[in-house]
Structure 1
Amino acid sequence: MSDKTPVTHDLSQLFEKIKEVRMAMLTTTDEHGSLHSRPMATIQPGKDQALYFFTDSESAKVYEIRKDSQVNLNYSDPGSNVYVSVSGKANAYRDQAQIDELWSEPMRGWFPKGKDDPRINILKVTIDKAEYWDSPSSLLSQAYAYVRAVVTGERSKDDDVNEHAQVQPK
């Protein structure tokens, strides 16, 4: 294993890793101080170092975020061996122009009244830091790691077959 995890300030690789995953587990702190997680569909990895979601203005997560804006998002794609953890500050607000811009018809499943539903809020998570792990899922990469371990008696190093980095936006 590497002694030190590489750090980057470039969010583009992070956004590339999660663009196909779409679903994240959003963790907030509830009124009792316990962690509370639920799935959320990512609408747009941000052009402004943020991730965007739609939420109901009367949901528990909006209440929890108003009490404590620190949240965590976890993305997982076991089929591709991609795992991402994002920590940041969340803010729920209503901006009809931005709702119109981000709206897609499948969202009607959660908001049957459409994009003009007065209960739609945008949930913006501004990224403080993130970390990702991406292990090639190909049989060839796994075989390489196995053979290297057998021949050398050492486990694979992160940079041999895995990609792991911390992301800290400027």
Structure 2
Amino acid sequence: MSKDLTPEEAKDVFWETLKDHRTVMMGSDSTRHMQPMTGFGERDEGVIYFYTRDDTDLAKSLETGGEAMICLMSKDEKVHACIAGRAGLTRDREAIDENWNYFVSAWFPDGKDDPALTLIRFEPADGKVWVQNGGAVRFLFETTKANLTGEFPNEGDVVNVRF
């Protein structure tokens, strides 16, 4: 478990990492596999929005709402998170306008008026956040030390979080 990081600090790390990296793996209780999705976090609201088409397996699985999970891994591999929560579909125009951009528009030929456009609204509930601040050099040091001493490597902080 955590050695130094508090749950509030771990949530801060999660939201900042999501803002910087955006890509998560997402799945629902009724989908067999997770899939890559680009998330737009609204920390003040406590939600993450994902643009999608209403004809995807993931969107269909969440038409009436349900449990979902996201996994986030930072590009530098210092932060990992697995977060469970509730998700459902919305066509909230304000939410659609909020993060619309050149890259999102590529998936919707009719723009914001594309009839297949919908958002997945994910409300994080709880999960775990792993933070390893030392990078590759620290990982190598901890692995070497563990092999020499027979003790487990210090893998950083692992924190249970509730949103």
Residue matched to 2:50: 53
CA shift for structure 1 position 134: 2.3
1:163 corresponds in structure 2 to 157
What is the CA distance between 1:7 and its match in structure 2?
Answer: 6.3
Q: Identical aligned pairs, as a percentage?
A: 21
Distance 2:109 2:34 in 1: 24
Matched with 1:138 is 136
Match of residue 95 from structure 1? 92
Q: Distance in 2 between matches of 1:9 and 1:144?
A: 28
Q: What residue identity is the alignment partner of 2:135?
A: S
C-alpha separation in 2, matches of 1:119 and 1:80:
34
Q: Unaligned 5+ residue runs, structure 1?
A: none
TM-score by length of 1: 0.79
Report the Cα offset of residue 143 of structure 1: 4.3
Cα 1:4–1:53 shift into 2, 3 Å: same
**Is 1:105 paired with 2:102?**
yes
Q: 1:163: how far off? A: 2.2
C-alpha offsets along residues 125-158 of structure 1, whole Å, 9 cap, x if unaligned?
A: 101102121223231x134314543564312244
Change (3 A) 1:143 1:56: closer
Inter-partner Cα distance in structure 1 for 2:51 and 2:27: 15
Consecutive unaligned residues of structure 2, counting only runs of 5 or more, are none
User: Does 2:76 correspond to 1:75?
Assistant: no
What RMSD, in angstroms, separates the aligned Cα atoms of the two structures?
A: 2.7
Equivalent residue pairs, number: 161
On the 8 A contact 1:46/1:52 being kept in 2, the answer is: no
